[in-house]
Amino acid sequence: MFAEHWLTVTQFLSDPVAQPNNWLTLVFCVLLLLFTMILITFRRKLFLIFRALFSQRHFSIIQREGKILEDRISPFVLFFDILTITTGIIMFCSTYIPGAMSKLHFMANIGIFFALFLVAYFLKLLSNELYAYLFNKKKERISINQYKFIFMTDFASVIFPLLVVIQYTGLKALYYVITIILAILFSVWVYRLLKINSTGRHRFHFFLYFCTLEILPWLVFLKVLLII
Query: Exposed/middle/buried for 122, CB within 10 Å: 0-12, 13-18, 19+?
Result: exposed
Measured distance CA(167)–CA(21) in Å, rounded: 8
Domains of the chain by residue range: 21-48+57-227
CA Rg, the chain, in Å? 19
Least confident of 23-37, 111-125, 158-172, 199-213: 199-213
Question: Dihedral sign, CA of 113, 151, 28, 21?
Answer: negative
Question: Per residue in 137-172, pLDDT tens?
Answer: 667 778 888 888 999 999 999 999 999 999 999 899
With a CB cutoff of 8 Å and minimum separation 6, the contacts of 69 are 145, 146, 149
Measured distance CA(190)–CA(210) in Å, rounded: 9
Name residue 185's amino acid: L
End-to-end CA distance of the chain: 45
Tell me, what's the pLDDT at 13? 45
pLDDT band at 45 (very low <50, low <70, confident <90, very high): confident
With a CB cutoff of 8 Å and minimum separation 6, the contacts of 5 are none
Q: Structure pTM?
A: 0.82
Alpha helices in 97-137 (DSSP H): 98-101, 106-134
